Amino acid sequence: MEPWWREQWGNPSSRQHRLGLTAAAAIGSAREHLAGSLGIRSEELIFTSGATEANNLALLGHARARTLSDGGAGHLISVASEHHAVLDPLLQLQEEGFQITLLAPQKDGLITVEQLEQAIQPNTQLISVMVANNEIGVVQPIRDLSAVCRNRGITMHTDAAQAYGHLPLNAEELGCELISLSAHKFNGPKGIGALVVRAGTQLQPLQWGGGQEQGLRAGTLPVPLIMGMAAAAELSMQDLEDRQARLQALRDQLWEGLKDRNPTIQLNGALQPRLAHNLNITIPELSGSRLLRALRPRLACSSGSACSRGEPSHVLRSIGRSHIEAEASLRLSLGRDTTASDIDGAIEVITTAIQTLTQR
């Protein structure tokens, strides 16, 4: 990213001088690279400020466009365990007259094709289901779910923020017309992401201005962030399989180690199919806030999402955990640099905290 902050600071929309043209060419190759990694054409990738904006653009932009083409607001389906960046735009659309159905996931965090089929109505316009859950890591059967939408005039959106860079993804195989991405979920910079808009998908912009991104997302492109996103994507694709295998073994070591030393702890979400670097556990009958306070000096972990506004996790509540259980839960994420001795350290720190708090 460095040279794009300091030396090549041209605006890619300024095509009358060399600095601008250089920036535009760099954006072109970054876009091509990202598009290629998903098996789509460059024109099908719109840069946004992250997955929150991509989700808003996908949901509000498509639903509002459908109101015009279908002659009114219809029915939209999603899942109660989605990120707030999907749930809150849907609440907004409800205010605008759309009818919303939120499916309740099974106890393992997954939803089934049968559940989706039962929820579909003649006026269903859009379905939004995330690839991988940000709290419990479970991976939804997107291919099977999108197959249900085909030939029914229903558009499929998926929030792939947690999956891109961690699982092999191909837009055609996913069968989704709209796909949201976020760079900081695969070690890229914060403040940049993208929305995949497959050719022929109706979309209204959320903002108007300089006409960038085919008029779908006006605003000067943040060149250094986009270069960082493309570089991070390249790095995460290079060792994807090896990293997944290594992190899955370490994650399983963490789970087995914690369970052996603390037999009452429970796993949240199915162990498979699940992101290799995610573990989420409930420690029954322990105060969640005291546990987090005890761990804070040694471990960076949380009981829910960074976007949860301090409430107990709605994801854990949606799979049947009580308010108290949801608070007494830990979301543990491994990173590309996590080692086996980090895992042993984490098992030790968590076990000591649990034992100290239960003895009190």
Is residue 307 flagged as an active site residue? yes
Q: Which is nearer to ligand PLP, 73 or 332 (CB)?
A: 332
Size of the site for ligand PLP (CB under 6 A): 14
Q: Please pick, from the candidates 129, 138, 159, 254, the single residue that binds ligand PLP as defined by CB under 6 A.
A: 159
Q: Which of 67, 134, 201, 329 binds ligand PLP (CB under 6 A)?
A: 134
Among 85, 291, 347, 353, binds ligand PLP (CB under 6 A): 85
Name the β-bridge partners of 100: 76
56 binds ligand PLP, rule: CB under 6 A: no
Residue 282 phi/psi, 5-degree rounding, is -115, 135
Closest approach, Cβ 85 to ligand PLP, in A, equals 4
Smallest distance from the beta carbon of 134 to ligand PLP, in angstroms? 3
Q: Tell me, what DSSP letter sits at residue 302?
A: B
| Beta-sheet strands, E only, within the chain | 45-48, 75-79, 99-103, 124-128, 155-159, 178-182, 193-197, 266-267, 278-282, 329-333
| Integer Cα distance of 53 and 55 in angstroms | 5
User: Is 318 an interacting residue with respect to ligand PLP (CB under 6 A)?
Assistant: no
63 sits near ligand PLP (criterion: CB under 6 A): no
Contact between 162 and ligand PLP by CB under 6 A: the answer reads yes
Q: What DSSP state is assigned to residue 314?
A: H
β-pair partners for 331: 280, 302
CB of 308 within 8 A of CB of 135? no
Q: Among 113, 105, 138, which residue's Cα sits nearest to residue 317?
A: 105
DSSP string, 283-314: -TTS-HHHHHHHHTTT---BSS-TTSTTSPPH
Question: In whole angstroms, how close is the CB of 153 to ligand PLP at the nearest point?
Answer: 26
Distance CA 221, CA 26 (A): 12
Q: Rounded to whole angstroms, how far apart are CA atoms 51 and 55?
A: 6
Which residue in the set 307, 320, 335, 344 belongs to the binding site for ligand PLP (CB under 6 A)?
A: 307
DSSP state, 139? B
State which residue, 67 or 128, has the beta carbon closest to ligand PLP.
128
- Closest CB to ligand PLP among 85 and 116? 85
Q: Say whether residue 327 binds ligand PLP (CB under 6 A).
A: no
Under rule CB under 6 A, residue 329 binds ligand PLP: no
For 164, the 3-state DSSP assignment is: strand
Contact between 161 and ligand PLP by CB under 6 A: the answer reads yes
d(CA 176, CA 163): 14
The span of 64-72, 136-144, 154-162, 168-176 binding ligand PLP (CB under 6 A) equals: 154-162
E strand or H helix that includes residue 58: helix 51-70
Q: Please identify the residue of the shown chain whose CB is closest to the bound ligand PLP.
A: 50
**Three-state DSSP state, 357:** helix
Each residue 173-202 as x (binds ligand PLP by CB under 6 A) or -, in order, gives ---------x----------x---------
51 vs 283 by CB, closer to ligand PLP: 51
Nearer Cβ to ligand PLP, position 83 or 246? 83
Secondary structure element (H or E) that encloses residue 296, with its range: none
Choosing from 66, 83, 217, 331, the residue that interacts with ligand PLP (CB under 6 A) is: 83
Residues 62, 201: contact at Cβ < 8 Å? yes
From candidates 50, 165, 224, 304, binder to ligand PLP by CB under 6 A:
50
Residue 209 contacts residue 219 (beta carbons within 8 Å):
yes
Shortest gap between Cβ of 57 and ligand PLP (angstroms)?
12
Partners of 180 in the beta sheet? 159, 195
Closest to ligand PLP by CB, 130 or 136: 130
Nearer to ligand PLP, 140 or 282 (CB): 140
User: Which residues have a catalytic role annotated?
Assistant: 307
Query: Where along the sequence are the contacts to ligand PLP (CB under 6 A)?
Result: 50-52, 83, 85, 130, 134, 159, 161-162, 182, 193, 306-307
